[in-house]
Amino acid sequence: MPLGLGRRKKASPLVENEEAEPIRAGLNVTGMDGLDGGGVGLGEGTTQEGLPPPPTSLRPRLIFHTQLAHGSPTGRIEGFSNVRELYTKIGEAFGIAPPEVMFCTLNTHKVDMDKLLGGQIGLEDFIFAHIKGQRKEVEVFKGEDALGLTITDNGAGYAFIKRIREGSVVHQIQVINVGDMIESINGHSLIGCRHYEVAKMLKELPKGKDFVLKMVEPLKAFDMISQRSGGARAGSGTQLGTGKGTLRLRSKGPATVEELPSAFEEKAIEKVDDLLESYMGIRDSELAATMVELGKDKKNPDEFAEALDETLGDFAFPDEFVFDVWGAIGDAKVGRL
């Protein structure tokens, strides 16, 4: 496909077989005006390039209700600007060490990966913190090239299982579940590793041999015992937040107060997310939303390709994929999706 001639390719952090999906790691709040009509996004502690984040005194005061997912009184947390600070605030509210927090879900205490705190947080969403439970060690025989796992991370050093493909190698092992944190592979510690690093290690394990996983499962309430699946697939139409808007989570740039996505944006994001799964074996609604945002005002696919290279160059998207994404955004504009 003759797109974006001369585009500089970089090694992709994505892995073909063992899928990887990121959770974005920062929460920087900007946009003092219009708070009641929008949302705030999570970034990585920066506003515009070269500018520091606004001082705490100038940030909107956002208070969230939270509980421990296995059961606790309701706490109130505020004043955090990234995921690690969020976990610290949760620890302070419930008297636990911040590293005990594995991940958070929104509006459900269950290990539902479609409600994982990641892409967006509604201004009135309820945060449930999942903390470390039982440790377990499992010996796995790698009988196929792909184990059937989708790996994500919490933005604070823990990688865990987001999905298990039905009929896969891991699906046959009942003690491995969605939400389990992968602590080590064959004795090699994974604490501090990113999701794609863990996925790469799993992919590179030799076929036809055993390997050992040490994992930690989230502490569960009684009604969560024996739960294996991660719920419906991402992008199935669930809208986080309320009529007052959403918190937009970004991997780069400032947190922004935003209205809920338009009908065009929702359709385009879902289609681009489908294309990500088809081409690259991942689902990532935030990445899809970023691509739609980059492409909706571009005049031609070459301009879109240049914008992708500038903002998302690490992914080294193939030209065919870029062309299909451009087409999906165009179809959504004219209502053909």
Mind listing the pLDDT tens digit for each residue in 157-210?
A: 999 998 898 999 999 999 999 999 999 999 999 999 888 788 888 988 999 999
pLDDT of 5 higher than 80: no
The band of 40, judged by pLDDT with boundaries at 50, 70 and 90, is: very low
Beta strands at 64-68 and 159-164: parallel, antiparallel or unpaired: unpaired
The band of 42, judged by pLDDT with boundaries at 50, 70 and 90, is: low
What residues contact 174, with CB distance under 8 A and at least 6 apart?
Answer: 228
What type of residue is 321? F
Nearest to 194 by CA among 74, 2, 15: 15
Q: How far apart are CA 311 and CA 175, in angstroms?
A: 40
Q: How far apart are CA 217 and CA 230, in angstroms?
A: 14
**Alpha helices for 214-284 (secondary structure H):** 263-280
**What's the confidence (pLDDT) of residue 320?**
93
Contact between 13 and 20 under an 8 Å Cβ cutoff? The reply is yes
Distance from CA of residue 305 to its chain's centroid?
24
Q: Which CATH homologous superfamily contains domain 63-218?
A: PDZ domain (2.30.42.10)
- Strands, E assignment, the chain: 19-21, 64-68, 75-77, 101-106, 120-122, 127-141, 149-153, 159-164, 181-185, 188-189, 210-218, 246-248, 257-258
What mean pLDDT is predicted for residues 322-328? 94
**What's the confidence (pLDDT) of residue 32?**
34
**What's the confidence (pLDDT) of residue 22?**
54
Share above pLDDT 70 across residues of the chain, in percent, rounded to a whole number: 67
Kindly state the tokens that stand for 218: 């989230």
Residue 186, Ramachandran bin (φ over 0: left; ψ between -120 and 50: alpha; else beta): left
Contact between 55 and 206 under an 8 Å Cβ cutoff? The reply is no
Kindly give the interhelix angle for 301-312 and 319-333, rounded to the nearest 10 degrees: 110
**What's the confidence (pLDDT) of residue 336?**
59
User: Which carries the bigger pLDDT value, residue 311 or residue 261?
Assistant: 311
What mean pLDDT is predicted for residues 273-279? 77
Q: Round the average pLDDT of the chain to a whole number and report it.
A: 76
Beta strands at 159-164 and 188-189: parallel, antiparallel or unpaired: unpaired
* pTM for this entry: 0.65
User: Which carries the bigger pLDDT value, residue 284 or residue 185?
Assistant: 185
Kindly state the tokens that stand for 138: 């499992």
142-175 residues labelled b (16+ CB within 10 A) or e (exposed): beeebbbbbbbbbbbebbbbbbbeeeebbeebee
Residue 289, Ramachandran bin (φ over 0: left; ψ between -120 and 50: alpha; else beta): alpha
Q: How far apart are CA 252 and CA 53, in angstroms?
A: 12
Q: How far apart are CA 274 and CA 289, in angstroms?
A: 12
Sign of CA dihedral 282, 286, 292, 293: negative
Q: What is the DSSP string of 304-322?
A: HHHHHHHHHGGG---HHHH
pLDDT of 58 higher than 90: no
Q: How far apart are CA 156 and CA 80, in angstroms?
A: 14
What mean pLDDT is predicted for residues 116-141? 88
Lowest mean pLDDT among 9-13, 43-47, 107-111, 194-198: 43-47
